[in-house]
Structure 1
Amino acid sequence: MFRYIANRILLFIPVLLGVVVIIFTLMYVTPGDPAMAILGDNATPEQLAALHKSLGLDDPYIIRLGRFFFNLLQGDFGISYRSGRPVLEEILSRYPNTLILAFSSVAFGVVVGVAAGIISAVKQYSFLDKICTVVSLLGVSAPSFWIAMVLVVIFSVELRWLPATGNSSFKYWILPVFTLGLQASASIMRMTRSSMLEVIRQDYIRTSRAKGQTELLTIMRHAFRNALVPIITVIGIQICGFLAGAVLVETVFAIPGVGKFIVDSVNFKDYAVVQGAVFWIGLNCVLINLCVDVVYCFVDPRIKGQYSRTKAKKPRCLPDQEAAND
């Protein structure tokens, strides 16, 4: 198991290097002048040239890439062109909101999606299975901003039960968490159902039932445990997606998160913020994938067997064979 984890940690390094190069290259080839966005359209050529020199925008690609990478190693994500504050400080001030939204939504999706997926698989083609399938198709197909606006119209405008925007207390998080949680539960439910359907048809499930074990024990101990690997994969993908792609929900509900911060910085051409924030999200996604790989060790016994260091013992020679060898 330790060899498996060590291999995954070693793969962590080239992935991060690739993320750094891709992020910087995309921002380097993106049209637009940050100096113009900072100084405005009335700036003189001399002012633009002086700002280019101070920001290092006239340096070659390799020099700017090396400077960006060296600063990241020191924990320096740069300075925001718009606010003049360190980028990492700006990100960390908004990061808790994104974490609350992402993990709360995924937790809601896991509880609802796993339960609905197990019920749909065990009661295949039943009325409950059809209802769960229809709801999951709605959650997968409907855009998040459309679900968010429908919920705002119903629960905030018409019923006036919940606030439409803000994040100052628990009730402000109900609508955004439910919006993303519906999408997460739909994906998790579909994967749980398909994975469980493959497992419950196996011979060891029939053997467990023939031994007299209860249906609940058979489903949870044998079927669900062996169906966990693809479910864990989907959960990790959902967390990464919500950390990087909750922009629309954050915008609709006016939540000051990292995703909305990136969009606002792109509109302002604040390249330092975009580079630093996208790298921060990429770092989080790589760490989450690493955690998912580690969880595999405790769920899938085949990984332990593949990376075990036990060596096969050399067979001992029989006395006649030893005499023949002599």
Structure 2
Amino acid sequence: MLHIVKKRLIQLVIVLLFLSVSTFTLMKLAPGDPVQSILQVDQLMVTKADEAKLHKELGFDQPLIVQYGQWMLRLLRLDLGNSYMNGNPVWEEMLRRLPTTIQLTAGGLVVMLLISVPLGMIAARYPGRWPDQVSRVLALIGASIPGFWLGLLLIYFFAYKLQLLPSMGKGTLSQMLLPSFTLGFSMAAVYARLLRAGLLESLSQDNIRAARARGVPEWRILVLHAFRTALLPVVTVFGMSIGSLLGGSVVIETLFSWPGLGSMAVEAIFGRDYPVIQGYVLFTGVFVVVVNLLVDLSYGLIDPRIRLGKGASQ
């Protein structure tokens, strides 16, 4: 276990270094000038002298290597700087919006579990029969529909035509239903088929045959014996797809006006708010590495036969 933690910490340092260089470089190569965006927000009659003064205040008159070094020194002190648009510290902006993103992500995961687990188990219980075929069709539909298009369809039918649910904002459970379903449905399609494959493999093992020989009911075997082993590939893929989940939340938050980290990042991109963009990218990188660490550590809890830290040597 200590070996896994050490490996992930080294990976975290490498990821942060790579993200810091890449995001800083891309921000400088991106079209547009954040100084002009800031001055437009202030709605003042500005001159070239005002622009030059603000360039100097922000350090844009320094060579790029100097700008990067100054930013890295602040980053080592856990200082992500202040937003160009409102002057607030980036940490405060991210912490203020983080609970909202967590709420949406949790809602999407709940939707994913409510759809994928029953579909996967039913498909594994009746392989090749009509429940399995229905599960396959639903999985194909879910994997084929882009998230933004599904969200637009839900808004059109449930918010505009039927007027059953709100399409924007945050605060009530009804406002959370559409974005959560949009985020979780496409994930459910993938995980339903993955769970089905894991269950079919588990059901072919010797201990399952022994349980059947003892007269254990099939559903009890499926839920209590095979399901736990089938979770291993599901958890592995979840760790690898956490980046896609965060990327999907950016689209969903923008589509449903959900005030989370994703919509903050989009606003920062349009406003050339470099500190906010860089802070969001670094936070996402750290989050992905930490989640993958938790996934690695969870293997021993799911399957006691796995010995963390010894797998590499065996």
CA separation of 1:67 and 1:296: change in aligned 2, threshold 3 A: farther
CA distance in 1, matches of 2:287, 2:257: 23
Q: CA deviation at 1:299?
A: 2.3
Q: CA deviation at 1:175?
A: 1.1
1:110, 1:184 within 8 Å by CA — same for their partners in 2?
no
Q: Select the residue among 149, 153, 165 that pairs with 1:150.
A: 153
Q: Select the residue among 267, 272, 279 that pairs with 1:264.
A: 267
Q: Select the residue among 175, 194, 200 that pairs with 2:178.
A: 175
CA separation of 1:306 and 1:210: change in aligned 2, threshold 3 A: farther
Match of 2:27 in 1: 27
CA separation of 1:153 and 1:117: change in aligned 2, threshold 3 A: same
CA distance in 2, matches of 1:4, 1:237: 16
CA distance in 2, matches of 1:11, 1:301: 26
CA distance in 1, matches of 2:98, 2:309: 38
CA distance in 1, matches of 2:108, 2:308: 35
Q: Which stretch shows the higher mean deviation, 138-147 or 18-27?
A: 18-27
**In the TM superposition, what whole-angstrom CA distance separates every residue of 1:95-128 from its partner, at most 9, and x where no partner exists?**
2111111121112202321221121122112221
| TM-score using structure 1 length | 0.86
CA separation of 1:100 and 1:237: change in aligned 2, threshold 3 A: farther
1:148, 1:179 within 8 Å by CA — same for their partners in 2?
yes
CA distance in 2, matches of 1:271, 1:3: 36
Give the 5 Å matches for 1:113-132.
113-132=116-135
Q: CA deviation at 1:27?
A: 1.6
- Is the radius of gyration larger for structure 1 or structure 2? 1
CA separation of 1:282 and 1:116: change in aligned 2, threshold 3 A: same
Q: Select the residue among 186, 189, 192 that pairs with 2:189.
A: 186
1:106, 1:238 within 8 Å by CA — same for their partners in 2?
no
2:80, 2:279 within 8 Å by CA — same for their partners in 1?
yes
Q: How many residues align?
A: 309
- Aligned-residue RMSD, C-alpha: 2.4
Name structure 1 gaps, 5 residues minimum: 309-326
Q: CA deviation at 1:238?
A: 4.6
Match of 2:103 in 1: 100
Give the 5 Å matches for 1:149-298.
149-298=152-301
**In the TM superposition, what whole-angstrom CA distance separates every residue of 1:38-91 from its partner, at most 9, and x where no partner exists?**
235974332222212111112223322222222223222111111121122222
Give the 5 Å matches for 1:41-60.
43-60=46-63
Secondary structure of the corresponding residue to residue 61 of structure 2: coil
1:140, 1:186 within 8 Å by CA — same for their partners in 2?
yes
Q: CA deviation at 1:233?
A: 2.1
CA distance in 1, matches of 2:160, 2:29: 44
Secondary structure of the corresponding residue to residue 246 of structure 1: helix
CA distance in 1, matches of 2:250, 2:4: 35
Q: CA deviation at 1:19?
A: 2.3
Q: Letter of the aligned partner of 1:35 in structure 2?
A: V
CA distance in 2, matches of 1:6, 1:268: 39
CA separation of 1:239 and 1:106: change in aligned 2, threshold 3 A: farther
CA distance in 2, matches of 1:305, 1:169: 42
CA distance in 1, matches of 2:190, 2:94: 29
1:244, 1:281 within 8 Å by CA — same for their partners in 2?
no
Name structure 2 gaps, 5 residues minimum: none
CA distance in 1, matches of 2:306, 2:31: 47
Match of 1:315 in 2: none
